[in-house]
Structure 1
Amino acid sequence: MASTSTTMEQHIAVFGGSGSGKTVLLSSFYGAAQEPRVRRANRYAVTAEDRAQGRTLHRNYLGMRDSSTVPSANRFSAATYRFVIEPSADDLPKGRSKQKAAKPLGIVWHDYPGEWFEEDPSSAEEEARRVATFRSLLSADVAVVLVDGQLLAENAGEEERYLKALLTDFHTGLYALRDDVLEDGKRLTRFPRIWTLALSKADLLPDLDVEEFREIVIGKAGGELDELRSVLQSFVEDPDALDVGEDFLLLSSAKFEPGTIDVTTRTGVDLLLPMTAMLPFERFAKWASTRQRGAQVAEQLLKFVGPVIGFLGTSKLMKSNLVGAAVSMIGGGLGSKAVSFATKKVAKVKDQAEAEREFTTRVLARFAEDLDRGVDDRVLRRGDDA
């Protein structure tokens, strides 16, 4: 099992209705990362901390690649997957084994059953399990809500029928959970603050780019999106530091044709890691610098920004507006508690081995380039690019 002592760990929560493609998406994400050519191109490896989970995901991927077999959906099954991003075997410093190599990046993927937003709980036990599962993903900074491309295509010209139902299900489901999640009604400082809408099975709508997808969602179900934003704001302290439906993504786990599955033809899947790692840094730096915030909220915002600054502090990225803004933010009037917290985090990270910092800096720089490429290809629309 891979080490769990990662220096920087980010969480992503994935929501989607039944049949929206969550299992295929996760299997495609992990399986493709195991391909030797992909590891060589990325210069990093993605490893599942739970080997049994990793084998299952890889087997699902190989079934698609070699036998054109679609993995079975895990109905009503909530799961958490932990992945470590580490130097690939070809990229290890000379004289260092894989066991001794730096493992500074971790990604945790929370999969929330879509059926729980579509159907009422069958028992008090199941209701309690839904609440406990939702609480477990509150550590995520990025949440992805899947819009099923197949259902969108089936409702061509009347997309509002599907979109309104989808967003209303999420809205009412979250509202039903709120009182149980908020202890004594106290709003949360730790909560997913970036909610991205992603079109799964985008290969079924090949002429649709991300801007057109956004226009369909806003034009056909803008009111329901506003209601979803409102209920999410009711969960979180400082609701202004929350983006719901500002970021949009096209996703296709493979190209599916009768009798064949081409796993080499994918869209947007390779952006999930960069989004999880980089969007919180970009967005939290902006939010924390826009106006004075409470100490607890500022501390949560800086909790992730601080380590990234530490890693990038000696790199050429230090000259970028993004990092410069974050450094100015830490030096600004956020309150002594938050500034002290960030300073300690940066100092701690800067004490790490140079090789570790170089690896992390390189990976984060690659992620930033990937996000820019996704925007240029009209696969990703970032809210901060508006």
Structure 2
Amino acid sequence: MPPLDLHVAVFGASGAGKTVLLAAFYRAQTQPSFQQEYAYKIQAVNKAQGNRLLGRFYRLEEGTFPDGSTRFDEIEFDFFPRDLPEPAVRIHWYDYPGRWWEEEPVDADEREAMRQGLLRLGMSQVGILLADGAKYRSEGTGYIRWLFEHFADECDRLRRTSAAAGEEVSFPREWILALSKADLFPPEYSARDFEREVCRDADDQLAKLCAVLRAEHAFGHRFMLLSSVAAPPDAQVDPRTSLGVRTLAPAVLVSTVEGAVREAQASRKEKSAKETFFQGLRDLMQFVDSVDDFLPKRYQIVSKILRFVSIKDFASTRVDRLKKAREDAIRRGDTFKAVLTGMVAALRDDEGLRAYHQNQ
């Protein structure tokens, strides 16, 4: 069976930390210690891209931060369970350059690259908007309001420009708001704290952004803290210490499932206003043979995921039981259940509970 394809689009202004994040994401999950703890590892599908990411990371160890990306990149990562040869999940990472949100294309080639990049966004189940933790720390929620306003205005402009050219832009409907450079905040600061501050102080801007994206629930209920490296005051940068990068892929997986639930619930004529995501999906699976019938193509992956991970696993199973199920799957050679159950477990460990928060 081919790997399950998850598509994620990453957005952020220049300097927000997307390039460093990608290098740390790759390096952390290729290490034997990670494989031992989480029972899976990743490989770059394109070896040259993997080598470039490792090169960026090793330069970080020397104190050299890489230049930000100036072009649209698609990087594919395969997730392999420990001791098993076949990948279970492939994540397609779409990196949209921050400069494209701030400046006009320099020539026809870059304009075409932007067009091609926008078309790929329609394939993404999940989008990540990266807020610059350094700016948020120094400027407060005024920076977050600016980020939302700016991002909404640019999305609206891109939608109108593309429509005038006869091409409809389709943005992801499920989003994670991630705060980069989280090592700048106190150790007790969590994604839940970030969520409270944003929802309290930028609710109008959140509503505008959701309206522009034409997705009522796009923003405001998934939050992450991400720190690609640790940079304490007056101390040497430690690129081997991070926060949230191990939680990122599991968060994308769960968001994809939730997006499918939302689409399926929206297709039903009768549903309770108080129905939760997981109640809705559980009820749906009892009455239809395949949830695929209700879903856009980018969300049809959910029925495949649910063959290997139960609704209960997503909703409430304890982390120790998830880890036991993961190890049992490895012993049986069940590639998909091993990786998917391992990802869900990663959201329940100490790092996952601090780095990822969902308020609905």
**Mapped partners of 1:102, 1:320: distance in 2:** 23
- Structure 1 residue 301: deviation in Å? 6.5
Task: Using structure 1 for the length normalisation, give the TM-score.
Answer: 0.75
Residue number in structure 1 paired with 2:136 = 152
Report whether the alignment pairs 1:210 with 2:191: yes
- Structure 2 residue 52 is matched with structure 1 residue 77: no
In the TM superposition, residue 172 of structure 1 has moved relative to its aligned partner by 1.4
Displacement of 1:288 in angstroms is: 0.9
1:321–1:8: structure 2 CA closer, same or farther, 3 Å change rule?
Answer: closer
- Residues 254, 314 of structure 2: 8 Å contact kept: no
1:114 is the counterpart of 2:101:
no
Q: Does the aligned pair in 2 maintain the 1:118–1:169 contact within 8 Å?
A: no
CA distance in 2, matches of 1:106, 1:220: 37
Deviations 1:296-354 (A, max 9, x none): 86243651111112334xxxx3665869xxxxxxxxxxxxxxxxxxxxxxxxxxxxxx9
1:232-270 per-position Cα deviation (integer Å, ceiling 9, x unaligned): 00xxxxx45x52232111111110144622233211111
Cα distance, 1:43 vs. partner? 2.3
Q: Does 1:25 pair with 2:6?
A: no
Q: For the Cα contact (< 8 Å) 2:263–2:295, is it kept in 1?
A: no
SS state of the match for residue 245, structure 1? coil
Equivalenced residue count is 325
Give the number of the structure with larger relative contact order, counting CA–CA contacts within 8 Å between residues 6 or more apart: 2
Secondary structure at 1:85 match in 2: strand
Offset at 1:218? 2.6
Contact 2:259 2:299 in 1 (8 A): no
Residue ranges of structure 1 left out of the alignment (5+ in a row): 93-100, 234-238, 324-353
Q: Any conservation in 2 of the 1:288–1:298 contact (CA below 8 Å)? A: yes
Distance 1:359 1:166, change over 3 A: same
Q: 1:128 deviation in Å?
A: 3.6
Deviations 1:50-84 (A, max 9, x none): 1111001111122223x23322222x221110011
Match of 1:243, SS state, is coil
Tell me which residue corresponds to 1:55.
51
Equivalents in 2 of 1:170, 1:59: separation in Å?
31
Which whole-Å CA distance do the structure 1 matches of 2:313 and 2:39 have between them? 23
Residues 304 and 322 from structure 1, CA distance in 2 versus in 1: closer, same or farther, beyond 3 angstroms?
Answer: farther
Amino acid at match of 1:205: F
2:243 to 267, 279, 289: 267
Does 1:44 pair with 2:20? Answer: no
Tell me, yes or no, if structure 1 residue 192 matches structure 2 residue 172: yes
The answer to whether the 8 A contact 2:226-2:245 is kept is yes
Whole-angstrom distance in 2 between the partners of 1:197 and 1:218: 12
Q: Is the Cα contact below 8 Å between 2:23 and 2:54 reproduced in 1? A: yes
Bigger shift: residues 247-256 or 213-222: 213-222
Identity of aligned residues (%): 29
Distance change >3 Å, CA 225–CA 128, structure 1 → 2: farther
Pairing of 1:227-306 with structure 2 (within 5 A): 227-233=208-214, 239=215, 242-257=217-232, 258=234, 260-289=236-265, 291-292=267-268, 298-300=295-297, 303-306=300-303
Q: Indicate which of 133, 143, 158 corresponds to 2:127.
A: 143
CA 1:321–1:42 in 2, change beyond 3 Å: closer, same or farther? closer
Displacement after TM superposition at 1:212 (Å): 2.2
Deviation at 1:277, TM superposition (A): 1.9
Q: CA distance change for structure 1 residues 302 and 199 in 2, over 3 Å: closer, same or farther? A: closer
- Tell me the amino acid that sits aligned with residue 135 of structure 2: L
- Aligned-residue offset at 1:355: 8.4
Compared CA separation, residues 7 and 144, structure 1 to 2 (3 A): same
Matched AA of 1:367 = M
Could you say what secondary structure the match of 1:229 adopts? helix
Question: Are positions 1:16 and 2:12 aligned together?
Answer: yes
- Structure 2 CA distance for partners of 1:47 and 1:179, relative to 1, 3 Å: same
Partner of 1:381, secondary structure, is strand
Contact 1:131 1:180 in 2 (8 A): no
Distance across 2 between alignment mates of 1:63 and 1:376 = 27
2:203 and 2:190 mapped to 1: Cα distance? 19
Residues 32 and 61, structure 1, Cα contact 8 Å, conserved in 2: no
Query: Is residue 285–residue 301 contact of structure 1 (8 Å, CA) maintained in 2?
Result: no
Q: Please, what is the CA RMSD of the aligned residues?
A: 3.1
Residue 354 of structure 2: SS of its match in structure 1?
coil
- Unaligned stretches of 5+ in structure 2? 270-291, 317-329
Change (3 A) 1:132 1:302: closer
Deviation, 1:278, is 2.4
- Which of 199, 222, 228 is the aligned partner of 2:203? 222
Cα–Cα, structure 1 residues 303 and 57, in superposed 2: closer, same or farther, change >3 Å? same
Q: Summarize the Cα distance change of 1:219–1:18 in structure 2 as closer, same or farther, 3 Å threshold.
A: same
Which residue is equivalent to 1:86? 80
Supply the AA of the counterpart residue of 1:381: H
Code of the aligned partner of 1:46: I
Deviation sequence 1:94-125 (CA, Å, 0-9, x none): xxxxxxx3223101111011121122334454
List per-residue Cα deviations over 1:25-62 (Å, max 9, x = no partner).
00000011122211222222201011111001111122
Kept after mapping to 1: 8 A contact 2:181/2:228: yes
